[in-house]
Amino acid sequence: MTEIAHYINGAHTESTSGRSQAVFNPATGTSSKSVALASVSEVESAIAAAKAAWPTWSKMPALRRARILDRFKSILWERGDQLAEIISNEHGKTHDDAMGEVTRGLEVVEFAVGAPNFLKGEYSENVGTGVDSHMIRQSLGVCAGIVPFNFPAMVPMWMFPVALATGNTFILKPSERVPSTSLKIAEWLTEAGLPEGVFNVVQGDKEAVDVLLSHPDVKAISFVGSTPIAQYIHQTGSANGKRVQALGGAKNHMIIMPDADLDMAANALMGAGYGSAGERCMAISVAVPVTDAVADALIEKLVPMIKALKIGPSVDSTSEMGPLISAQHLDKVRGYIDAGETDGAKVVVDGRDFKQNQQGYENGYFIGGTLIDNVTPDMSIWKDEIFGPVLSVVRRDSYQDAVDLIHAHKYANGTAVFTRDGDVARNFNQDIEVGMVGINVPIPVPMAFHSFGGWKASIFGDHHMHGMEGVRFYTRIKTTTSRWPSGIRTDAEFTMPTLG
């Protein structure tokens, strides 16, 4: 069995921890490789390599750092399909979906190439008599990223391109379920000219994470995952003096108004609810039709579309939805459907009945698209993030009732409204207490030059990811006030200087 290990100081590094776990292909339910789980000393080795590389890398002109990232960007453009194949094999998502992930990650690299522009400081002449002042942004040092299984390329690229462009060194701790993508990224960064130690990959579990959270040489932590772990990462990292951005869970609602184009809304819900088997933090998992008439008409359109979903492995180019990530997660998603039914909701389309009959994939972690009507806010299928292809319908009598439903939820990552009414759209955008909003757009993931992040229990920390928020997270401000000899007073000053 092949063991997937680390990438430290510019080279693949075998593990000496003696600990590992199996890596499965979700489409077949089989394993032919394992991933090493790093020891404390292995994580410390990566931190030491990153720390040693930082002084030289941080002082390299931003233009030269950007050129290296630009070469990496070109490699991604040319070989993105190779990365997509690795993603599909370990995650299970379709090849087209994996290619979309690579493209969205690449867009952050494109943004990071602009480092010479966004790192420009500010200068004020004569803030006082003969006194000038200027501000610059400098890197923090060693930064670390802890990322989830569902986007093994895109989510790391929300983090490390901006971190590297601003002069930091980086340690990536990928999910144990999808370890291979990170190593290919590391290889390509080295090929692009990145110096040894600037980017490192440490495979591992909580033991590795806790070293990153506690080690004094790690200055900042970026995280995407579930809310309980995001809260743990934020509290532990902050207690150890680190800058932390930790993005957590989501329960994203889409309001469908009576004037909405229902064909457009139904198609949007199909992609947003069932794309990537619902394993997205921006997936729409709750449809909120306003009035029963809208709900009935919407469900009538959705049912045949859901039943027609082509569910299969990524090697089948006609597949629209792949398997879930693991057998345990498959059981969890089925359990939520069971609970909804027990609580009185109506299972209109039941994905539990799906059977994969393609030869060689009968034991994969497949489930069908599920639609559940008459869901109420007291049910676990509304309260919890299911992270599967389960779309709940919560009926509401008015626009305000729909907004109140969204505000009642603990998560506030993304949301959308479908309407032709400009007043409704404007009011929704202005008043909704959610971090990312779509107007007739079901998955409002910002472009790379904007920033990604939710509100409430969907985020811990002050900064969202990528865009200028990412630049602010990975840099600190230094302000210098200067006066040269011809302007120096000869007498001592004992009062607070006013400079004027």
For position 9, which CATH number holds? 3.40.605.10
Same domain for 337 and 238, yes or no, is: no
Give the rounded distance of the alpha carbon of 288 from its chain centre.
25
Cβ 363 vs Cβ 30: under 8 Å:
yes
Whether 472 is in a domain gets the answer yes
Same domain for 124 and 221, yes or no, is: yes
The CA-atom distances, in angstroms, between 387 and each of 6, 277, 486 are 29, 8, 67
Same domain for 258 and 317, yes or no, is: yes
Same domain for 265 and 130, yes or no, is: no
Residue 230 has pLDDT above 70, yes or no: yes
Q: Which whole number is the average pLDDT over 5-30?
A: 97
What residues are labeled active site?
Answer: 281
Whether 324 is in a domain gets the answer yes
Same domain for 206 and 297, yes or no, is: no
Residue 126 has pLDDT above 60, yes or no: yes
Q: Which whole number is the average pLDDT over 476-498?
A: 78
Single out the residue of 279, 277, 214 nearest to residue 242, CA to CA.
Answer: 214
Same domain for 75 and 88, yes or no, is: yes
Cα–Cα distance for residue pair 176/145, rounded to 1 Å: 14
3-state DSSP assignment of residue 108 = helix
> Tokens in use for 86?
């690795």
Cα–Cα distance for residue pair 74/115, rounded to 1 Å: 17
Q: What pLDDT, on a 0 to 100 scale, did the predictor assign at position 219?
A: 98
Residue 500 has pLDDT above 70, yes or no: no
Whether 447 is in a domain gets the answer no
CATH number for 367: 3.40.309.10
Cα–Cα distance for residue pair 54/46, rounded to 1 Å: 12
Taking only the tens place, the pLDDT of each residue in 195-214 is 999 999 999 999 999 999 99
Cβ 46 vs Cβ 200: under 8 Å:
yes
3-state DSSP assignment of residue 30 = strand
Q: What pLDDT, on a 0 to 100 scale, did the predictor assign at position 209?
A: 98
Q: What pLDDT, on a 0 to 100 scale, did the predictor assign at position 485?
A: 78
Residue 473 has pLDDT above 70, yes or no: yes
The residues with which 465 forms a beta bridge, in sequence order, are: 452
Whether 408 is in a domain gets the answer yes
φ/ψ of 487, rounded to 5, equals: -105, 5
Cα–Cα distance for residue pair 44/37, rounded to 1 Å: 14
Same domain for 312 and 401, yes or no, is: yes
What's the burial of 316, exposed, middle or buried (CB within 10 Å: 0-12/13-18/19+)? middle
Taking only the tens place, the pLDDT of each residue in 99-114 is 999 999 999 999 999 9
Cα–Cα distance for residue pair 97/57, rounded to 1 Å: 35
Q: Which whole number is the average pLDDT over 133-155?
A: 97
Whether 333 is in a domain gets the answer yes
10 Å Cβ neighbour count for 438? Answer: 23
Contacts of 438 (CB under 8 A, 6+ apart): 254, 414, 415, 416, 417, 444
Cα–Cα distance for residue pair 157/470, rounded to 1 Å: 11
Taking only the tens place, the pLDDT of each residue in 330-344 is 999 999 999 999 999
Whether 391 is in a domain gets the answer yes
Q: What pLDDT, on a 0 to 100 scale, did the predictor assign at position 490?
A: 63
Categorize the per-residue pLDDT at 303 as very low, low, confident or very high, splitting at 50, 70 and 90.
very high
Domain count along the chain: 2
Cα–Cα distance for residue pair 88/321, rounded to 1 Å: 11
Q: Which whole number is the average pLDDT over 162-190?
A: 98
Cβ 365 vs Cβ 325: under 8 Å:
yes
Q: What pLDDT, on a 0 to 100 scale, did the predictor assign at position 306?
A: 98
Whether 109 is in a domain gets the answer yes
Taking only the tens place, the pLDDT of each residue in 419-445 is 999 999 999 999 999 999 999 999 999
Q: What single DSSP character describes residue 148?
A: -
Single out the residue of 147, 31, 153, 145 nearest to residue 97, CA to CA.
Answer: 153
Residue whose entry in the numeric block shows the structure tokens 């930790």: 246
Q: Which amino acid is at 311?
A: I
Q: What pLDDT, on a 0 to 100 scale, did the predictor assign at position 487?
A: 56
Contacts of 381 (CB under 8 A, 6+ apart): 336, 337, 339, 340, 343, 345, 372, 375, 390, 392
Cα–Cα distance for residue pair 487/99, rounded to 1 Å: 61
The CA-atom distances, in angstroms, between 272 and each of 199, 279, 285, 286, 442 are 33, 10, 8, 10, 6
Q: Which whole number is the average pLDDT over 266-287?
A: 97
Cβ 8 vs Cβ 183: under 8 Å:
no
Q: Which amino acid is at 348?
A: V
3-state DSSP assignment of residue 265 = helix
Cα–Cα distance for residue pair 221/245, rounded to 1 Å: 6
Q: Which amino acid is at 39?
A: S
Same domain for 94 and 145, yes or no, is: yes
Categorize the per-residue pLDDT at 178 as very low, low, confident or very high, splitting at 50, 70 and 90.
very high
> What is the overall mean pLDDT for the chain?
96
Same domain for 128 and 65, yes or no, is: yes
Single out the residue of 102, 23, 26 nearest to residue 312, CA to CA.
Answer: 26
Q: Which whole number is the average pLDDT over 254-281?
A: 98
Residue 82 has pLDDT above 80, yes or no: yes
Cα–Cα distance for residue pair 181/422, rounded to 1 Å: 43
Same domain for 208 and 301, yes or no, is: no
Q: Which amino acid is at 482?
A: S
Cα–Cα distance for residue pair 437/432, rounded to 1 Å: 8
Cα–Cα distance for residue pair 234/221, rounded to 1 Å: 8
Residue 495 has pLDDT above 90, yes or no: no
Cβ 453 vs Cβ 435: under 8 Å:
yes
Single out the residue of 444, 294, 419, 413 nearest to residue 427, CA to CA.
Answer: 419
Q: What pLDDT, on a 0 to 100 scale, did the predictor assign at position 176?
A: 97
For residue 81, the enclosing domain spans 2-248+458-480
Same domain for 243 and 272, yes or no, is: no
Q: Which whole number is the average pLDDT over 386-412?
A: 98
Q: What pLDDT, on a 0 to 100 scale, did the predictor assign at position 242?
A: 98
Cα–Cα distance for residue pair 138/81, rounded to 1 Å: 35
Whether 488 is in a domain gets the answer no
Same domain for 232 and 89, yes or no, is: yes
Q: Which whole number is the average pLDDT over 394-401?
A: 98
Type and span of the H or E element at 80: helix 62-91
